[in-house]
Amino acid sequence: MKKLYLFSLINNFTLPNFEDFLRESSQGDFKLLVLMQIDQQKSSVLDYISHSQVQVDINKIHFLAPEINDKCAPQDTLKLLKEASGILVLGGNAHFYQKIYASPEICQIVQEKYSLGTPYAGVSAGAILSLNYNLLTDLALKPHFSEKKRFTELIAKMKKNRVKYGFGLDDNISLKIIDNNLIKCVGKDSFYLFTKHDINEYSFKILKNLDEVEIS
């Protein structure tokens, strides 16, 4: 079963989905991999874990971030990805993440791991990166949706990329997507699911905490 978790932020409202990801990723002799933009983000992950109800051996979590002038992922990224029991990609600059963590070799490994059941969680830029990995297809995604008034941006992105779906994700809500089909919402505020019907015809649904919806 494929499990994908998407966040704009991890906070008190979205923490239950983060806890679910932790449980799925930390079974047995696990190796959880966290991809970051800068080393300082490590403390935020440890803080999320400390506020969760899940007991995790933090010594089995591998944190990776490039050096400030690096133009590619750290040397052991491929090895750690192959061993990972769960993949968490944090937020930051989406273009930076795409440059560092979306090489063909990395994309292939993430796709293979995810297809075999390794859970993936993406926060903001990390959620966008899931599209670079083709974990979800035929859609555009905008985190911080209401907060940054991204309605027009999302429609423009859908048109540019010629995709069927658009995801608008508010800061206080998160998604758990099972087998690329069933979407479960957890948190506060709203998830906006846009669907393209024709070249200039779109509709959208507003989903709230505990709402579920299926996409094709």
pTM, two decimal places: 0.97
Alpha-carbon gap, residue 171 to 149, rounded angstroms? 12
Contacts of 71 (CB under 8 A, 6+ apart): 99, 100
Query: Tens-of-pLDDT digits for all 216 residues of the chain?
Result: 999 999 999 999 999 999 999 999 999 899 999 999 999 999 999 999 998 999 999 999 999 999 988 989 999 999 999 999 999 999 999 999 999 999 999 999 999 999 999 999 999 999 999 999 999 999 999 999 999 999 999 999 999 999 999 999 999 999 999 999 999 999 999 999 999 999 889 999 999 999 999 998
Q: Is 199 left (phi over 0), alpha (psi -120 to 50) or beta?
A: alpha
